[in-house]
Amino acid sequence: MLGSSLVVTLSFGHLAWSAAFLSSDCLFQRILNTTRNDYISQDLECAFSIPEFMSGILGSRQMDPFGSETYVPTLVTRDDASQVDLDTRPTPSPTGQPSPSLTVHITDEKDFALILPDKTSELISDAEADGTAFCSPAGAGEACGRRMNEGFITAAAVNRAEDGSWIQITGCLDVSKSGLAPSDDGGQFDVRFPNGAQCTFGGYGASFIEQVEPSVNRFCLRCCSSENDQINCNSHRDRSGCPVAIPGQYSFPSLGVDCS
């Protein structure tokens, strides 16, 4: 029955996305209602048996003038699923003048810089207004006036896009080797905050996103080569956490480190 089509019409209104997944032979629909910020699970009648090896179904969305949404499920890969309903609104323009003290870079796992709070126990969200660039202990460059403490970075991995559109570093932290608040769930730095923030990979104005999550000992930074790259450096996933905002390596079994 894989060639059969299934059309589901929903009339809840203001739906952000729809994702279906399999449990035994039944199909379930999970819907995010953005007006209430909660989840509604609705069982759909099992119209036919679907092999369990299928990992998921995601629906394309169409809206009529009365607010009803019709979903036509289509098979997608897990990588494709991460792009479904991606918010691609333009990144707000950079703010302030570029400054070496707000410049991040990625050379390799030992040489990079992150924007971090400049005050002990300051929340990441508060540091979005007055953060400062800190280089890894072995880091080099004009932005390296401040250094992370030895042992603060417990593991890191660098990845690059084949087409050169971005470079990223992801990894784990030991918050006890810093002045970060251990209970802080974190926040995001990007071209808007702090004023003058930039990454050397793309230069001033080019998209970059950095998230630091002290409560789970995790960090991530991706720098894009062009301005307003909301596909590769999406600034609207600032509350999603590193694994969603910047998929990458957060588990390092050989080092006994895992922040995934």
Instruction: Please write the tens of the pLDDT for every residue from 118-162.
Output: 999 999 999 998 999 999 999 887 668 899 999 999 999 999 999
Backbone angles phi, psi at 126, to 5 degrees: -75, -35
pLDDT at position 92: 73
Sequence-ordered list of residues with C-beta below 8 angstroms from that of 32, at least 6 positions apart, any chain? 15, 16, 17, 39
Cα–Cα distance for residue pair 87/20, rounded to 1 Å: 20
pLDDT in tens, 168-185: 999 999 999 999 999 999
CA 69 centroid distance within chain: 27
If we measure between CA atoms, which residue out of 233, 175, 229, 223 comes closest to residue 202? 223
Banded pLDDT at 232 (limits 50, 70, 90): very high
Give the integer Cα–Cα distance in Å for 148 and 157: 17
* Predicted local distance difference test score (pLDDT) of residue 31: 30
| DSSP letter assigned to residue 62 | E
Please give the helix or strand (H or E) that residue 81 lies within, else none. helix 78-81
User: Distance (Å, rounded) from C-alpha 141 to C-alpha 112?
Assistant: 9
Element spanning 124, H or E: helix 124-127
Residue 49 pLDDT class (50, 70, 90 cuts): very low
Enter the pTM of the model: 0.69
Alpha-carbon span 149 to 136, nearest angstrom: 8
Domain ranges of the chain: 8-81, 100-258
Distance CA 182, CA 214 (A): 5
Other Cβ atoms closer than 10 A to 107: 18
- Reading phi first (left if > 0) and then psi (alpha if -120 to 50, else beta), residue 101 is in alpha
Read off the amino acid at residue 194.
P
**Other C-beta atoms within 10 Å of 90: how many?**
9
Q: For residue 168, give the 3-state DSSP assignment.
A: strand
